[in-house]
């Protein structure tokens, strides 16, 4: 099977690409060649910018594919260009949406693929919804062979899945407090990118996936306090948690606040029966207690990638000072 990944070196796709090659897929990666992550060994590289029509056409040449996956489409105008580029060029087009598109806050759990799409808090999610609507309309009107996949919070060894990333771990190691939104007890789902890959690759070339929507997540549910405690434990340290209302965080940092109010501040538990029916051998097997050890080990092995975000640190300190009722530098 000949497959094109547009992107292919990101957090989620870097778990899928090596497994695709291992399973014997003829994998092509189309990107600008600027990722910090190396491409999967054995993949063919097409250098081009999917955002620039002429660049994309030059990179694609006369290639046709059994499946095309766009990992980096975020706006309706981007999927509109993909419709133009890939009509007649692929038997399946997979759009990577987001589980944050689901109703927020959710009225009931677990979330299924039939849960209504409605996120008034986060423009990112609303853009993904608009992309889905355009592609599904193309499926209804012209049988454009689309499959929609909604990942939830998926991580890799190079990515610590908390706001601030490595900077939060560095604060823990220095004995500094870290911010956890709300009271730390809302439930969250974290999925290792290789677990995601096992479900995802089973959809490629799967005729039952055309015109369908799937989310692919772990079945493990953790509180945000547990997540931070596991990070500290894996790093051999202790964590000092300060609980802060999401609305307060949003007042200090609009982007951080939007990702909370539009996603992470609300419990998310998923029903994965649909992906398990479509891909019977799919099962998420890596608990976060194991995955976070991989994250810590990766950062210890790549000190050059351990960059502290000074702006995030300043924002965190301002929030903590506000919670103490003092201004930074006064106490």
What's this model's pTM, rounded to 2 decimal places? 0.93
List, in order, residues 6 or more apart from 234 with CB less than 8 Å away.
289, 292, 293, 295, 296
Identify the pLDDT of residue 37.
Answer: 72
Handedness of CA 37, 35, 31, 196 (dihedral sign): positive
- Report the candidate in 175, 146, 268, 254 with the shortest Cα–Cα distance to residue 218: 268
The string of pLDDT tens digits covering residues 230-268 is 999 999 999 999 999 999 999 999 999 999 999 999 999
DSSP 8-state secondary structure symbol assigned to residue 38: P
Q: How confident is the model at residue 38 (pLDDT cuts 50, 70, 90)?
A: confident
Q: Where in the chain is the domain with CATH 3.90.25?
A: 166-188+221-267+288-324
What is the location of CATH 3.40.50.720 in the chain? 2-155+190-216
Superfamily classification of domain 2-155+190-216: NAD(P)-binding Rossmann-like Domain (3.40.50.720)
Q: Mutual orientation of helices 288-301 and 224-234 as an angle, nearest 10°?
A: 50
Question: Is pLDDT of 200 > 90?
Answer: yes
Residue 86 burial (CB count, 10 A):
22
pLDDT, residue 33, reads: 73
Instruction: State pLDDT tens for residues 49-101.
Output: 999 999 999 999 999 999 999 999 999 999 999 999 999 999 999 999 999 99
Tokens 């007042």 identify what position?
251
pLDDT at 172 exceeding the cut of 80 = yes
- CA torsion sign for 169, 174, 179, 185 is positive
Give CA–CA dist 11/9, Å, rounded: 7
Q: Is the pLDDT of residue 225 over 70?
A: yes
Question: Which tokens belong to 143?
Answer: 């049988």
Q: Of 33-47, 109-123, 214-228, give the lowest mean pLDDT range.
A: 33-47
pLDDT score, position 331: 40
> What does DSSP assign to residue 206?
-
CATH of 166-188+221-267+288-324, one of 1.20.120, 3.90.25, 1.10.3470, 1.10.760: 3.90.25
Residue 188 · residue 222 · CB < 8 Å = yes
Q: How many of the other CB atoms lie within 10 Å of CB of 141?
A: 8
Predicted confidence band at 328 (pLDDT cuts at 50, 70, 90)?
Answer: very low
Q: Checking phi first, is residue 211 left (phi over 0); if not, alpha (psi -120 to 50) or beta?
A: left
């Amino acid at each position: 099977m000949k497959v094109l990944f547009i992107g292919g070196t990101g957090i989620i796709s870097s778990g899928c690409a090596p497994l695709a090659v291992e399973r014997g897929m003829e994998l092509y990666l189309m990107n600008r060649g600027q990722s910090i992550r190396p491409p999967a060994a054995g993949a063919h590289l097409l250098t081009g910018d999917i955002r620039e029509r002429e660049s994309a056409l030059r990179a694609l040449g006369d290639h046709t594919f059994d499946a095309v996956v766009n990992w980096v489409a975020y706006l309706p105008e981007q999927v509109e260009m993909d419709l133009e580029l890939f009509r007649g060029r692929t038997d399946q087009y997979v759009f990577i949406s987001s589980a944050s598109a689901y109703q927020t806050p959710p009225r009931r759990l677990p979330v299924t693929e039939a849960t209504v799409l409605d996120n008034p808090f986060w423009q990112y999610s609303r853009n993904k919804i608009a992309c889905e609507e355009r592609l599904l309309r193309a499926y209804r009107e012209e049988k454009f062979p689309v499959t929609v996949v909604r990942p939830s919070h998926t991580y890799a060894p190079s990515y610590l899945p908390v706001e601030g990333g490595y900077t939060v771990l560095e604060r823990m190691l220095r004995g500094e407090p870290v911010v956890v939104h709300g009271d730390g007890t809302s439930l969250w789902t974290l999925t290792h990118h290789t677990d995601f890959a096992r479900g995802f690759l089973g959809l490629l070339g799967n005729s039952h996936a055309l015109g369908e929507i799937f989310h692919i997540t772990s079945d493990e549910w953790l509180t945000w306090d547990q997540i931070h405690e596991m990070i500290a434990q894996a790093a051999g340290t202790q964590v000092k948690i300060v609980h802060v209302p999401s609305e307060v965080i949003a007042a200090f940092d609009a982007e951080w606040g939007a990702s909370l109010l539009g996603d992470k501040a609300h419990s998310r538990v998923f029903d994965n029966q649909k992906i398990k029916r479509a891909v019977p051998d799919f099962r998420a097997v890596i608990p976060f207690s194991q995955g976070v050890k991989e994250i810590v080990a990766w950062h210890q092995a790549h000190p050059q990638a351990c960059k502290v975000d000074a702006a995030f640190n300043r924002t965190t300190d301002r929030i903590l000072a506000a919670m103490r009722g003092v201004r930074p530098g006064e106490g």
